[in-house]
Amino acid sequence: MLFQIALATLDANRNKLLAVQDDGEAMTVLGNYLEHVTNRDATMLSSNQGVNNRSQSTVDVANLILESYQKFGFITAETIDSMRNAQRLKVVQVR
Protein backbone atom coordinates (compact mmCIF):
# COMPACT_ATOMS: atom_id res chain seq x y z
CA MET A 1 0.00 0.00 0.00
CA LEU A 2 2.81 2.45 0.83
CA PHE A 3 4.43 1.71 -2.52
CA GLN A 4 1.14 2.48 -4.26
CA ILE A 5 0.81 5.79 -2.37
CA ALA A 6 4.39 6.67 -3.30
CA LEU A 7 3.60 5.98 -6.97
CA ALA A 8 0.45 8.13 -6.76
CA THR A 9 2.49 10.95 -5.20
CA LEU A 10 5.07 10.74 -7.98
CA ASP A 11 2.32 10.58 -10.59
CA ALA A 12 0.59 13.67 -9.17
CA ASN A 13 3.87 15.57 -9.47
CA ARG A 14 5.02 14.06 -12.76
CA ASN A 15 5.23 17.29 -14.80
CA LYS A 16 7.00 19.25 -12.08
CA LEU A 17 9.45 16.41 -11.47
CA LEU A 18 10.25 16.09 -15.16
CA ALA A 19 11.15 19.79 -15.23
CA VAL A 20 13.62 19.75 -12.32
CA GLN A 21 17.37 20.05 -12.85
CA ASP A 22 18.66 18.11 -9.84
CA ASP A 23 17.74 15.89 -6.90
CA GLY A 24 17.38 18.86 -4.56
CA GLU A 25 14.67 20.39 -6.71
CA ALA A 26 12.86 17.07 -6.87
CA MET A 27 12.92 16.80 -3.08
CA THR A 28 11.54 20.36 -2.83
CA VAL A 29 8.68 19.54 -5.22
CA LEU A 30 7.77 16.41 -3.27
CA GLY A 31 8.16 18.16 0.09
CA ASN A 32 5.83 20.98 -0.97
CA TYR A 33 3.24 18.46 -2.16
CA LEU A 34 3.42 16.39 1.01
CA GLU A 35 3.14 19.50 3.22
CA HIS A 36 -0.30 20.05 1.70
CA VAL A 37 -1.66 16.55 2.26
CA THR A 38 -4.39 16.89 4.86
CA ASN A 39 -6.86 14.72 6.71
CA ARG A 40 -10.38 16.11 6.47
CA ASP A 41 -11.38 13.91 9.39
CA ALA A 42 -8.76 15.39 11.72
CA THR A 43 -10.36 17.28 14.55
CA MET A 44 -7.43 19.58 15.36
CA LEU A 45 -5.49 21.81 12.97
CA SER A 46 -2.61 24.01 13.93
CA SER A 47 -3.00 27.68 13.09
CA ASN A 48 0.04 27.57 10.79
CA GLN A 49 -1.37 24.70 8.78
CA GLY A 50 -4.64 26.55 8.22
CA VAL A 51 -2.81 29.60 6.89
CA ASN A 52 -0.50 27.58 4.62
CA ASN A 53 -3.33 25.56 3.13
CA ARG A 54 -5.12 28.68 1.92
CA SER A 55 -2.22 29.66 -0.33
CA GLN A 56 -1.97 26.30 -2.09
CA SER A 57 -4.57 23.65 -2.82
CA THR A 58 -4.63 20.71 -0.48
CA VAL A 59 -4.81 17.00 -1.13
CA ASP A 60 -6.95 14.95 1.21
CA VAL A 61 -5.16 11.81 2.36
CA ALA A 62 -8.30 9.72 1.77
CA ASN A 63 -8.38 10.85 -1.87
CA LEU A 64 -4.66 10.13 -2.24
CA ILE A 65 -5.17 6.60 -0.90
CA LEU A 66 -8.18 6.04 -3.15
CA GLU A 67 -6.34 7.31 -6.21
CA SER A 68 -3.31 5.17 -5.40
CA TYR A 69 -5.50 2.09 -5.19
CA GLN A 70 -7.37 2.93 -8.41
CA LYS A 71 -4.22 3.62 -10.42
CA PHE A 72 -1.76 1.19 -8.87
CA GLY A 73 -3.85 -1.40 -7.01
CA PHE A 74 -2.82 -4.07 -9.48
CA ILE A 75 0.78 -3.91 -8.25
CA THR A 76 1.47 -6.74 -5.81
CA ALA A 77 4.58 -7.69 -3.86
CA GLU A 78 5.16 -10.40 -6.45
CA THR A 79 4.98 -7.83 -9.26
CA ILE A 80 7.53 -5.63 -7.49
CA ASP A 81 9.87 -8.60 -6.92
CA SER A 82 9.56 -9.63 -10.56
CA MET A 83 10.30 -6.10 -11.81
CA ARG A 84 13.19 -5.75 -9.36
CA ASN A 85 14.72 -9.03 -10.52
CA ALA A 86 14.30 -8.04 -14.17
CA GLN A 87 16.32 -4.83 -13.57
CA ARG A 88 18.86 -6.24 -11.11
CA LEU A 89 21.58 -6.84 -13.70
CA LYS A 90 21.30 -3.27 -15.06
CA VAL A 91 21.59 -1.82 -11.56
CA VAL A 92 24.66 -3.92 -10.75
CA GLN A 93 26.33 -2.92 -14.04
CA VAL A 94 25.82 0.81 -13.34
CA ARG A 95 27.66 0.62 -10.04
Q: What is the pLDDT of residues 33-57, one digit of tens each?
A: 999 999 988 845 554 555 444 456 8
The number of domains in the chain is 1
Which residues lie closer than 8 Å to 49 by C-beta, 6 or more apart? Answer: 38
Domain containing 27: what range? 2-94
Overall pTM > 0.85: no
- What's the Cα-to-Cα distance from 40 to each of 9, 36, 43, 57, 74, rounded to whole Å? 18, 12, 8, 13, 27
Reported as a single tens digit per residue, the pLDDT across 5-34 is 999 999 999 999 999 999 999 999 999 999
pLDDT value at position 40?
Answer: 87
In three-state secondary structure terms, 80 is: helix
CA neighbor of 42 nearest in space, from 54, 66, 60: 60
